[in-house]
Amino acid sequence: MTPSQAPVDIDATLAALTLEEKASLLSGLNFWETQPVSRDNVSVPSMWVSDGPHGLRKQADEGDHLGLGNSVPATCFPTAAALGSTWDSDLLEQVGAALGRESKHHGVSVLLGPGANIKRDPRCGRNFEYLSEDPVLSGDLAAALIRGTQSQGVGTSLKHFAANNQEDDRMRVSAEVDERSLREIYLASFERAIAGGDPWTIMCSYNKINGTYASHNHWLLTEVLRQQWGWDGLVVSDWGAVRDRVAAVAAGLDLEMPGTGGRSDADIAAAVRDGSLDESVVDTAVRRVLHLINKTMPATQDRTPVDADAHHTLARQAAAAGVVLLRNEPVDGTQLLPLSPTQHIAVIGEFARTPRYQGAGSSQVNPTRLVSALHALSAHYDGTVTFAPGFTIAEGPEPEVTESELHDQAVAAARDADIAVVFLGLPAADESEGYDRTTISLPPVQLELLAAIHAVNPRVVVALANGSVVTVSEWQDHAPAIVEGWLGGQAGAEGLTDILTGASTPSGKLAETIPVRLHDVPAYENFPGGFGTVRYGEGIYVGYRWYERRDIAPAYPFGYGLSYTTFTVTDTSVTVTGTGADTNATVHATITNTGHRAGAHVLQVYVHDQDAPLDRPDKELKAFTKVHLAPGESTTVTLALDSRAFAFWHPAVGRWVVGGGQYQIAVGESSQAINATHTVTIDGEDVRLPVTDMSTMGELRKHPIVGGDITPLLDGLDPAFLAMVDDIPSTVFAGFGMSSLDADGLEKLIARANEGL
Ligand code: BGC
């Protein structure tokens, strides 16, 4: 957009545009710009959109959506995997604001992110771009990023809507998922991000949902998104996700990206002319485009320079906050972390010199700066740091010796040092947009090296670089201390170094479960599907919901992370007000830093519905907060739970229902470490299901209105026989002539049962 443009007069412009011009506004000019219109007195500027999500990828020259071409230098913030582990909405809002400032400096109207897809399976190649396996954590953190970016007048694009939980076959596969799982898990993450952040745009996904492409899905894009959730922004396609442009615009997809050289525009105009598409549908989409142009115009005219140093510092702070200390076992009575400044440290692993800090694909940022862990650690310790690469990675320098010599040199370096800090991780090619992983193990060459190092020096710290979970169980006996650094962005190595040295106290918590082995994961046999279909057979039991329900011990549970200080949680209490859909609860707790270092604690609130009329998870995260406390400091926190914290998606009535009965509210520091549990009683909603002649005798027997008529008919039946009768549809039972209930009687009874519904 050129500077000093006036806002578009939407009504006048819409009246003046030809049908062809309107259609042209609904698709891209190229990879990143929308089409302008400029003639006589009609002027609609184009808008520039860029990836996202953890940094700006503005391609000034040739564009592509695969992350191949170059882009302007921008701060590469930690990837969503690392940001998710911060559990820190305030921090993510600051990161979002920084992303917004960089976008507007480069004239970008919309930053394509954040991603709110649930990490359904650790094999998903793009998990590094997603925040969590839990919808409340994912939704709240996505909302924070959105609020931050949009506070700068730059739009966001919450993506990829919806059920895009794998990369294999992503452009074609149909996610076969029941509505309850969609609503409670997959859509819930987006719904919460929308409620808390109100993104100006949403990007639909490539895949189909139960047989219909997301881009053509009227139920998804209009009924759920707009009618039920009340969202009124613009829907943009994922790049190339539209198969039928007319079906897409009718479903509620406003903007197709990138452009198709006029083909889609012609399809839209032809459909309006032949009467198969109502012009008002096109007008609505055009209005949304014009509205977005106006909304983002002031920001794109504000080219305030970016403070790259300040953004790098923020990236470092965010990276440190996302590091999860998994293990810090004593060796000879002393914990290895934080590192002691007087030690001789052997830094081992090519990743220490050649950092892995972001994933592959459309999110790849050209960083303003990049610091290695070797550099950061050497800067911290004078002269006591030695380095051995130990193994090669594709991005690293050409090795001057053989792999086996690299191995031997690293083992020798570890032997000679007080402590070995070993940087392990996934090769870059293992994690990318566009394909999934088949294993969640680290490469054998790295594990062999680790075992050999541990054999000569048991004082081993492992620092991990990976965007999606890797197993640790097979090797953690060789690593008394483990820090999970994820893909931490351009300052990731410095953030990690801050944790290793103790300049920062670890406060990251797992936003996803680390399984013992791949065979334990919820979608093990249903990922990535085949022949164009993937079945979400685990239903709502995703992530920790699965491990808890199946009683499968994970290596490290959801919400887990150690610290260098200690906290106590006391005086917890829960107050409930209201009933049914108006139920609200407040959770109070006092948190005290009882250790000797400043640090942060994440308080997690889980809810379990004990008396539900259907199967519900043992624990579901419903609220969390992160508090920063000086040594000895205490604070009291209050967390609000609204009715959705208790509700389930009722498959028979197709809406959220708060069931009556007892609920357990657990306050904890991980999904498994619970500080206190409170049981509360909630007055649920009265759900009357419509009765039909296929309602069973059991259902009629328990019905609040007609149950009294049925019970006498079945009096005296043997319990085993009654159990069988209970399952017989009432029309079948009436037909048997076993009682006085006949077809006429049943019809009247049904009418009475349904009165007032
Ligand atoms: C990705 C999107 C990205 C778009 C533009 C697609 O391949 O799935 O996340 O925003 O390309 O680069």
Q: Best of 30, 59, 65 to mutate for ligand 1, by most ligand atoms within 8 A of CB?
A: 65
pLDDT tens-digit series, residues 630-670? 999 999 999 999 999 999 999 999 999 999 999 999 999 99
Ligand 1 centre to CA of 170 (Å) is 12
- Give the CATH number, domain containing residue 652: 2.60.40.10
Indicate whether 383 pLDDT > 70.
Answer: no
Of 240, 235, 234, 282, nearest to 257 by C-alpha is: 240
Whether residues 483 and 350 fall in one domain: yes
370: left (phi over 0), alpha (psi -120 to 50) or beta: beta
Whether residues 330 and 435 fall in one domain: yes
Whether residues 725 and 677 fall in one domain: no
Cβ–Cβ < 8 Å for 212, 163: no
Ligand 1 centre to CA of 314 (Å) is 25
The CA distance from 38 to 668, in Å, is 59
Whether residues 619 and 489 fall in one domain: no
Find where tokens 């917890």 sit.
Answer: 572
Whether residue 619 is contained in a domain is answered as yes
The CA distance from 632 to 568, in Å, is 11
Q: Residue 565 half-sphere exposure, CB side, CA atoms within 13 Å?
A: 28
Give the other-Cβ count within 10 Å of 278's Cβ: 12
Ligand 1 centre to CA of 160 (Å) is 9
| pLDDT for the residue 63 | 60
Ligand 1 centre to CA of 128 (Å) is 14
Ligand 1 centre to CA of 418 (Å) is 46
Whether residues 732 and 641 fall in one domain: no
Sheet containing 419-425: which strands, arranged edge to edge?
324-328, 481-484, 460-465, 419-425, 345-348, 385-388
| pLDDT for the residue 381 | 84
Whether residues 599 and 675 fall in one domain: yes
Whether residues 484 and 421 fall in one domain: yes
The CA distance from 302 to 191, in Å, is 31
pLDDT tens-digit series, residues 71-113? 999 999 999 999 999 999 999 999 999 999 999 999 999 999 9
Query: Could you tell me if the CB of 407 is within 6 A of ligand 1?
Result: no
Of 473, 493, 540, 534, nearest to 124 by C-alpha is: 534
Among the residues of 417-528, which ranges form H helices?
444-456, 492-501
What is the tally of structural domains in the chain?
A: 3
Sheet containing 533-535: which strands, arranged edge to edge?
212-213, 208-209, 174-176, 533-535
Whether residues 502 and 579 fall in one domain: no
Whether residues 491 and 608 fall in one domain: no
pLDDT tens-digit series, residues 280-309? 999 999 999 999 999 999 999 988 999 999
Whether residue 608 is contained in a domain is answered as yes
| pLDDT for the residue 4 | 62
Ligand 1, residue 112: give the atom nearest the CA.
Answer: 10
| Annotated catalytic residue 742 | no
Q: How confident is the model at residue 523 (pLDDT cuts 50, 70, 90)?
A: very high
Query: In the chain, pLDDT over 90 holds for what percent of residues?
Result: 94
Ligand 1 centre to CA of 211 (Å) is 22
Sequence-separated contacts (24+) of 650-658 with Cβ below 8 Å: 650/687, 651/178, 651/179, 651/180, 651/614, 652/689, 653/687, 653/689, 654/179, 656/183, 656/581, 657/684, 657/685, 657/687, 658/580, 658/581, 658/583, 658/682, 658/684, 658/685
Whether residues 646 and 705 fall in one domain: no
Query: Could you tell me if the CB of 534 is within 6 A of ligand 1?
Result: no
User: Cα-atom radius of gyration of the chain, to the nearest Å?
Assistant: 28
Whether residues 667 and 729 fall in one domain: no
Q: How confident is the model at residue 1 (pLDDT cuts 50, 70, 90)?
A: very low
Q: In terms of DSSP bridges, do strands 212-213 and 208-209 run parallel, antiparallel, or are they unpaired?
A: antiparallel
Of 73, 1, 77, 10, nearest to 32 by C-alpha is: 1
> Taking the model in full, what pTM does it have?
0.96
**Closest residue by CA, ligand 1 atom 9:** 362
Query: Could you tell me if the CB of 110 is within 6 A of ligand 1?
Result: no
Whether residue 688 is contained in a domain is answered as no
| pLDDT for the residue 45 | 97
Q: Best of 130, 170, 239, 358 to mutate for ligand 1, by most ligand atoms within 8 A of CB?
A: 239
Whether residue 365 is contained in a domain is answered as yes
Query: Could you tell me if the CB of 58 is within 6 A of ligand 1?
Result: no
**Closest residue by CA, ligand 1 atom 12:** 65
Query: Could you tell me if the CB of 21 is within 6 A of ligand 1?
Result: no
Mean pLDDT (the chain) is: 96
Task: Tell me which DSSP letter residue 335 carries.
Answer: E
Q: How confident is the model at residue 380 (pLDDT cuts 50, 70, 90)?
A: confident
Query: In the chain, pLDDT over 70 holds for what percent of residues?
Result: 98
The backbone torsions φ and ψ at residue 612, rounded to the nearest 5 degrees and listed phi first, read -65, 150
- Looking at 512, 537, 554, which one is the last position of a domain? 512
Whether residues 590 and 460 fall in one domain: no
Residues 6+ apart with CB under 8 A from 4: 301
**Closest residue by CA, ligand 1 atom 2:** 238
Ligand 1, residue 170: give the atom nearest the CA.
Answer: 8
Give the other-Cβ count within 10 Å of 302's Cβ: 15
**Closest residue by CA, ligand 1 atom 5:** 65
**Closest residue by CA, ligand 1 atom 6:** 239
Query: Could you tell me if the CB of 129 is within 6 A of ligand 1?
Result: no
3-state secondary structure (DSSP) of residue 21: helix
**Closest residue by CA, ligand 1 atom 3:** 362
| pLDDT for the residue 48 | 97
Average pLDDT over residues 234-260: 98
Whether residue 162 is contained in a domain is answered as no
Whether residue 47 is contained in a domain is answered as no
Ligand 1, residue 52: give the atom nearest the CA.
Answer: 10
Can you read off the two tokens belonging to residue 539? 């239903």
Average pLDDT over residues 720-737: 94
**Domain enclosing residue 582, as ranges:** 567-682
Q: Best of 362, 363, 433 to mutate for ligand 1, by most ligand atoms within 8 A of CB?
A: 362
The backbone torsions φ and ψ at residue 406, rounded to the nearest 5 degrees and listed phi first, read -60, -45
Ligand 1 centre to CA of 158 (Å) is 12
The CA distance from 366 to 124, in Å, is 24
Query: Could you tell me if the CB of 112 is within 6 A of ligand 1?
Result: yes
pLDDT tens-digit series, residues 33-70? 999 999 988 999 999 999 999 999 999 766 665 655 68
- Looking at 481, 512, 543, which one is the last position of a domain? 512
Indicate whether 313 pLDDT > 50.
Answer: yes
Cβ–Cβ < 8 Å for 543, 119: yes
Peptide bond before 53: cis, by omega within 30 degrees of 0? yes
- Give the CATH number, domain containing residue 396: 3.40.50.1700
Query: Could you tell me if the CB of 76 is within 6 A of ligand 1?
Result: no
Whether residue 359 is contained in a domain is answered as yes
Find where tokens 């998804």 sit.
Answer: 220
Which of 238, 520, 609, 618 is an active site residue? 238
- Looking at 628, 658, 682, which one is the last position of a domain? 682
Whether residue 391 is contained in a domain is answered as yes
